[in-house]
C-alpha cells in the first residue's frame, strides 16, 4: 500500500513537470493566447481584491500611527497653552500692580508736603452699613486714629481703630461718614455723606448754588478732620427744589472700593480737636 502511494506521488510529480513544460512551450508559441485571455480577467480581479485588502491594512496601520502622533501633539499643545496662560495671568497681575503703584507714586509726587505710608488691604467688612476695611499697618508703623487714607484716585476714608499691626478704615461710602467738601470750580461748600446704597451725596448746599454735573468735589479742610483738596468724587446729578432751603448733589467716587488692594495712609496729618473752642455753659 505504501509503495503504491509513493509511486502515485512520483507519477503525479512527473506529470506536473511535463505539464508545466508543455504550458511554457505552447505559451511561447502563442497557442495558448486564447486561454490566457479568457483567464486574464478573473485572475486580474482576484489580484485587485488582494492588493486592495493589502492597501486597506496598510492604511489602517498608518492611520493608527497618525492618531497616536496627533494625540501626543495635542497633549503637547495643551501643556504649552497652560504654561502661556499662567504667564499671561502673571503678566496681567504685574501690569495691574504697576498701574496701582504708578497711581500712588503720582499722588505722592503731587502731594510733596505730605508723608504717606503704603498699606495692603487685608480684610473687608461684610456689613454694608459699616463699610470698613482693614489694612496691615498699625501703631508700630506710626498709624493713629483719624489719619486720612487715600489712593491715586482720591479719598478712601479715615482710620477709626488701630492695633499694634493693623488699622480699621471707615470708607467715605459708610452711612456714618460725613466729610466737609467743596466743588473745585465755584468753591461751593457742603458735606459729602455716605448712603445705605454705597453711593455719595453732597448735602448742605446753599439755595441757588452753582453746582454742575462733572464738577470735581474736594475736601475743604473745614472742621480740621481732613487736609484740604483731596479728591472725593465727581458730581453726577443735582437736586434743587424751590421749597427747600438747601439743595443736594449726587457724587460718584473715582475709586472702586470693592477692588482696593493698596492704599496710602497720610501719617503727616494730625486731626485738629476743635472741641476746646466750643463755648462752655455758664455755671
pLDDT digits (tens, 9 = 90+) for 12-59: 667 666 666 665 655 556 555 555 555 555 555 656 655 666 666 565
Among 19-23, 61-65, 131-135, 173-177, where is mean pLDDT lowest?
61-65
Among 75-84, 246-255, 261-270, where is mean pLDDT lowest?
75-84
- What's the pLDDT score for residue 51? 64
pTM for the full model? 0.63
Among 124-128, 138-142, 156-160, 190-194, where is mean pLDDT lowest?
124-128
* Of 188, 185, 194, 189, nearest in space to 216 by CA: 185
Q: If you average pLDDT over every residue of the chain, what do you get?
A: 79
d(CA 175, CA 223): 19
Among 18-32, 87-101, 123-137, 236-250, where is mean pLDDT lowest?
18-32
- What's the pLDDT score for residue 159? 96
Q: Among 75-89, 124-138, 160-174, name the most confident range.
A: 160-174
- What's the pLDDT score for residue 2? 46
Stretch 180-196: mean pLDDT: 93
- What's the pLDDT score for residue 70? 81
- What's the pLDDT score for residue 236? 94
- What's the pLDDT score for residue 136? 95
Amino acid at each position: 500500500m505504501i509503495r503504491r502511494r509513493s509511486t502515485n506521488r512520483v507519477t503525479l510529480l512527473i506529470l506536473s513537470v511535463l505539464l508545466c513544460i508543455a504550458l511554457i512551450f505552447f505559451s511561447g508559441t502563442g497557442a495558448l493566447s486564447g486561454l490566457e485571455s479568457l483567464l486574464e480577467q478573473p485572475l486580474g480581479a482576484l489580484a485587485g481584491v488582494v492588493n486592495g485588502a493589502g492597501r486597506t491594512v496598510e492604511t489602517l496601520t498608518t492611520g493608527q500611527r497618525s492618531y497616536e502622533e496627533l494625540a501626543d501633539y495635542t497633549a503637547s499643545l495643551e501643556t504649552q497653552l497652560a504654561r502661556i496662560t499662567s504667564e499671561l495671568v502673571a503678566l496681567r497681575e504685574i501690569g495691574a500692580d504697576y498701574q496701582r503703584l504708578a497711581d500712588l507714586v503720582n499722588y505722592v509726587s503731587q502731594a510733596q508736603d505730605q508723608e504717606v505710608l503704603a498699606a495692603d488691604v487685608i480684610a473687608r467688612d461684610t456689613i454694608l452699613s459699616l463699610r470698613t476695611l482693614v489694612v496691615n499697618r498699625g501703631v508700630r508703623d506710626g498709624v493713629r486714629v483719624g489719619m486720612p487714607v487715600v489712593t491715586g484716585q482720591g479719598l478712601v476714608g479715615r482710620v477709626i481703630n488701630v492695633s499694634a499691626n493693623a488699622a480699621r478704615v471707615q470708607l467715605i461710602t459708610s452711612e456714618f461718614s460725613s466729610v466737609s467738601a467743596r466743588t473745585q470750580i465755584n468753591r461751593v461748600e457742603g458735606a459729602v455723606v455716605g448712603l445705605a446704597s454705597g453711593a455719595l451725596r453732597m448735602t448742605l448746599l446753599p439755595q441757588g448754588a452753582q453746582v454742575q454735573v462733572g464738577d470735581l468735589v474736594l475736601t475743604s479742610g473745614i472742621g480740621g478732620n481732613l487736609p484740604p483738596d483731596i479728591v472725593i468724587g465727581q458730581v453726577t446729578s443735582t437736586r434743587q427744589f424751590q421749597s427747600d432751603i438747601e439743595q443736594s448733589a449726587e457724587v460718584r467716587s473715582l475709586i472702586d472700593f470693592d477692588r482696593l488692594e493698596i492704599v496710602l495712609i497720610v501719617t503727616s496729618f494730625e486731626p485738629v480737636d476743635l472741641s476746646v473752642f466750643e463755648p462752655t455753659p455758664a455755671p
